[in-house]
Structure 1
Amino acid sequence: MKTKAVRLYGKMDLRLEEFELPEIKDDEILVKVSADSLCMSSYKAAKLGEDHKRVPDDVADNPIIIGHELSGEIVQIGEKWQGKYKAGEKFSLQPAINYKGSMDSPGYSYKYCGGDATYMILPPEVMIMNCLLPYRGEGYFNAALSEPYSCVIGACRSLYRTDRQKHIHYLGIKEGGRMAILGGCGPMGLAAIDYALAGEFRPRQLIVTDLDNQRLQRAQSIFGPIAEKRGISLLFINSGELDNPHQFIMRLTENEGFDDMLVMVPFADALELGESLLGFNGCMNFFAGPTDEKFSARLNYYDVHYTEKHIIGTTGGNVDDMTEALELMESGLLSPEVLVTHIGGLDAVAEATLNLPAIPGGKKLIYTGLSLPLTALNDLPELAENSRLFKELAEIVKRNNGLWSVEAENYLLENGEKI
């Protein structure tokens, strides 16, 4: 059968093409992709091309399909997996396969497996490593966003503190402790806030910094009521407007500092501020991925020694993290719609991916079976004047407090132009 997909041929060379998929083998599965969320990691892969660690050296001759934050439905199942999966079942996919130590990953390494496609073939290692995960909730965009949520869940699960009496490490957010998320109003920061308010272990105080007042206000309006309902003190701060951010924020912790911290931006001053704000036995996770191989920041080793600070970094999530994300979404505890600021069709992927750092807002959600220019949700009212589709979507988004929703998704999938 034929598929349409966005394929990477080399550095900054993405092409939307239609081509034939081979018949699946007994240990493969054919799936229909419904939604894919664009990730900055795909931009990095496009920028580096064959120099990227996960992209094959021969990508110019054997292009790969990009996209790894995806969801859809199972279409055809190879004989080996027929007792485990069902046709028509909704799914999401954990791209960090780690099969036999290989770095091969959907969206980076495979000729027929990537999220920016109408149909794709799952190689056997996806199923062997239990990376094909069922989704029993409503809609598709939630499941597609479970991958970025798995990354922040993995980051939070990796935070730790030690027992001073025994050589024991305690993993995860400190229950009832103090937590900070620096640079926390981008899409991944919003996911981290959402999880900190919803996960098994929750802080009593959460402080989030950013430099953009509009993003801070949006996050406050969304998460403020949730935090209040769950008994968590949540405060948003524009650290760029403070003469002395360290002094101001430390006072908010009664000069105790933070037990847990995530740094969501690759800036030296953010890392240095974060380390200075850590309390005794606190842990800071440098989550943001820099592109500069020599990126560095100053570290107070005196404090590291005498106040037993822990500095770590994580990238990506695993199957357990993604399973937790899907379960929290199915239970309604997470609000992935807060991440979405743009929608588009498969024909918008190449240009949007190559320009992703310059496009403001949060997640760019792609419906792979549709033809649709990348469209900001905030622009829907203006576009509604000349489009019935946008008029209806604008009204649905307005009813849902300016957020994307399963209702909006269903309307778009039913009425949008097929690609």
Structure 2
Amino acid sequence: MTATAQPTPATMRASVMTGVGELRIEDRPVPAPGEHQVLVEVAAVGVCGSDVHYYRHGRIGDFVVDAPMILGHEMSGRIAAVGPGVDPQRVGQRVAVEPQHPCRRCPQCKAGRYNLCPHMEFYATPPVDGAFCRYVLIDDDMAHPVPDSISDDAAALLEPLSVAIATMRKANVRPGSSILIAGAGPIGVICAQAARAFGAARIVVTDLVPSRRDMALRFGATDVLDPTAVDVSAIEPVDAFVDATGVPAAVVSGIKAVGPAGHVVLVGMGADEYALPVSHIANFEITVTGVFRYTDTWPAAIHLVASGAVDLDGMVTGRYDLEHVGEALDSDSDPASLKSIVMPS
């Protein structure tokens, strides 16, 4: 039996992507929570680079938008109703949503790598709808309670912070570490904050745009570089390199800046294939890996924000309603824009 604080409406408004560069407002049915599910009334949704990529290109690699789809997967809200098997006391609870539904039965899930579940249903990844709408469903254990000290905006941005936490874990960042981050966009800046929170002593961020480099300094970088003015591969070697650009030249120069037994984590979306400096990787025994979402990162993310170690509210540079989702998706063209928020309610 479903438990609700008050009756939910039968329909809701949603911003639906109907084609490349095309959006329209539609009325959609409000879904009912099933067993071990909760219905979340969405408060805030961060705009991610993947949302922008789907909107502009209609695909990311093998994921193709071939039917109308709701974008948005960085979200927070309030539990409006719960399905069977969920404590009815959760109704009204403020939550940050981990936007994925793994099968929980495959070898990857059982090994604790549920982010690699081949049956994953991930918000705003074709054909699964996202959160540019008023209500969403999620498994109850993927709706993480947040304290009142964390705003709705910051609770939504726990999702990209989770990417950064997963990245720092793979980069083996520890107190006293040094790290190079290519790109001072939203993920690069959040990675700089996460690196500082993990104890990195030297955090070098590269970006072509001066205002972005200044922003990186505000949010944790100890040094910033213009990669067109400095040979990044020749800087004092670092323990770890994180690419948040997807640009082959940035990846190659970043790898060459990594010292012996260092770690490289590829986060940015770019070309599917490109040449790497294999002799440097082999001779220095450098570990090169990627990050595909996250596992078990929300507790750490909540702690980092609640403790003040990471500032997510300060990254918000614009807020938009459902009628202006297109403007939110295009806001990345402004160098002063860092993180845009859509408020569906």
The answer as to 2:110 corresponding to 1:135 is no
Aligned to 1:296: 274
Residue 256 (structure 2) aligns with: 276
TM-score normalised to structure 1 length: 0.70
Query: What residue in structure 2 maps to residue 16 of structure 1?
Result: 25
1:82-121 matched pairs, under 5 angstroms? 82=87, 86-100=90-104, 101-109=118-126, 114-121=130-137
Q: How does 1:154-303 map to 2 (within 5 A)?
A: 154-159=166-171, 172-183=172-183, 185-199=184-198, 202-223=199-220, 234-242=222-230, 244-247=231-234, 249-250=235-236, 257-290=237-270, 292-293=271-272, 295-297=273-275, 299-303=276-280
Given the superposition, is the C-alpha separation of residues 30 and 97 from structure 1 closer, same or farther in structure 2, using an over 3 Å criterion?
Answer: closer
Quick check: which one's helix share is greater? Answer: 1
1:344 aligns with 2:320: yes
Match of 1:64 in 2: 69
Partner of 1:377: none
Shift of 1:357: 5.2
Change (3 A) 1:98 1:46: farther
Residue 301 of structure 1, CA deviation: 2.4
Retained in 2: the 8 A contact 1:11–1:50? no
Contact 1:65 1:114 in 2 (8 A): yes
TM-score by length of 2: 0.84
CA distance in structure 2 between the partners assigned to 1:50 and 1:238 by the alignment: 31
State the distance in 2 between where 1:282 and 1:50 align.
Answer: 33
Shift of 1:55: 6.0
Figure out how many residues of one structure are paired with residues of the other and give that number.
321
Decide whether the 8 Å contact of 1:65 with 1:110 is kept in 2. Answer: no
Using the alignment, how far apart are the partners of 1:118 and 1:30 within structure 2?
A: 10
Q: Which moved more, 1:134-143 or 1:113-122?
A: 113-122
Change (3 A) 1:96 1:154: farther
Q: Give the counterpart letter for 2:269 in structure 1.
A: G
What's the % identity of the aligned pairs?
23
- CA distance in structure 2 between the partners assigned to 1:103 and 1:193 by the alignment: 29
| Structure 1 residues 286 and 138: alpha-carbon distance in aligned structure 2, compared to 1, 3 A threshold | closer
- What amino acid is the match of 2:248? A
Distance 1:5 1:110, change over 3 A: farther
Question: Which of the numbers 26, 35, 38 marks the counterpart of 2:47?
Answer: 38
- Tell me how large the CA RMSD over aligned residues is: 2.4
Aligned to 1:324: 300
How far the C-alpha of 1:141 sits from its partner, in A, is 0.5
Matched to 1:189, the amino acid is: G
Where structure 2 has 5 or more consecutive residues not aligned to the other structure, the ranges are: 1-8, 105-117
Deviations 1:266-295 (A, max 9, x none): 1121111111111011111111012x43x3
Residues 98-137 of structure 1: per-residue CA shift (max 9 Å, x gap): 32531321223567x5221122333xxx23xx32211113
* Matched-pair contact (CA < 8 Å) for 1:15–1:350: no
SS at 2:340 equivalent:
strand
Secondary structure in structure 2 of the residue aligned to 1:81: coil
* Counterpart check, 1:80 vs 2:85: yes
